[in-house]
Amino acid sequence: MKQLNIFIAFFRSSMLGYGGGPSTIPLVHKEVVERFKWMNDEEFGDVLAIGNTLPGPINTKMAGYIGFKVGGKIGMINAIVATILPTIILMVVLLTTLVTFKDLKWVQGMTKAIVPVVGVMLGVLTWQFIEASVKGLKWPFTIGHILVGIVLMQYFHIHPGFIIGGLLLFAVVKPTKSVEGKKSKGLSA
């Protein structure tokens, strides 16, 4: 029964949420805290904060940890499978079908019409990241940071991995109270 509940909780929150993992978190909260009462608000908040200290998708970290806490190793695998497997299967089936018929004229029309829609989705996502940066870093800093990023990645073709690695390192070693440290940021990127 417990394993079934774990499956239901994570299947439902994943199938009802769109826009990637982070936007599904409130639905996970609803299942875990309100419906099944596996955790209270504070515990859930702590797990979320801890999940955010690590890289990678947030949803599977939450599912894995909560599943483990509630139902051991089986619970962990159960929660992750419920979160990701149904949509992966749908994805593979739908795209493989599309690719099979890609030489048909009307399928080509379909794939052409998708490109501007993807552009808009990415544009919206870009704006969300800019807004989130401005909230923490303010406008001048965000813009400066973005310009340096464009120059380094688009003109000098530096792999984003090095830039992100540098920024992460800087976030850790920068003295907590210093304002001076901010100036060296563009350089460290």
Partner 1 sequence: MVYWNIFWAFFVTNILGYGGGPATIPLIQKEVVTRGWLTHQEFNEALAMGNSLPGPIATKMAGYIGFHEGGILGSILAVFATVAPSLILMLTLMGILYKYRHSIQVKRMTLYVKPTIAVLLGVMAYNSFHDSYSQIGIGQFLFLGVISYILMEKVKLHPAFIVMGALLYGGLNL
Question: How far is it, in rounded angstroms, from Cα 118 to Cα 35?
Answer: 35
Taking the complex as a whole, the smallest distance from the CB of residue 188 to partner 1 amounts, in Å, to 10
Handedness of CA 140, 143, 51, 14 (dihedral sign): positive
CB of 1 or CB of 45, closer to partner 1: 45
Query: Looking up tokens 């992750």, which residue turns up?
Result: 80
Taking the complex as a whole, the smallest distance from the CB of residue 27 to partner 1 amounts, in Å, to 10
Taking the complex as a whole, the smallest distance from the CB of residue 157 to partner 1 amounts, in Å, to 11
CB of 35 or CB of 174, closer to partner 1: 174
Taking the complex as a whole, the smallest distance from the CB of residue 37 to partner 1 amounts, in Å, to 21
Query: Looking up tokens 């299967």, which residue turns up?
Result: 89
CB of 103 or CB of 176, closer to partner 1: 176
Query: Looking up tokens 């239901």, which residue turns up?
Result: 8
CA dihedral 149, 152, 157, 158 (to 10 degrees): -90
CB of 15 or CB of 33, closer to partner 1: 15
Task: List, in sequence order, the alpha helices (H) in 33-138.
Answer: 41-52, 58-100, 105-137
Token readout for 173 is 């070693």
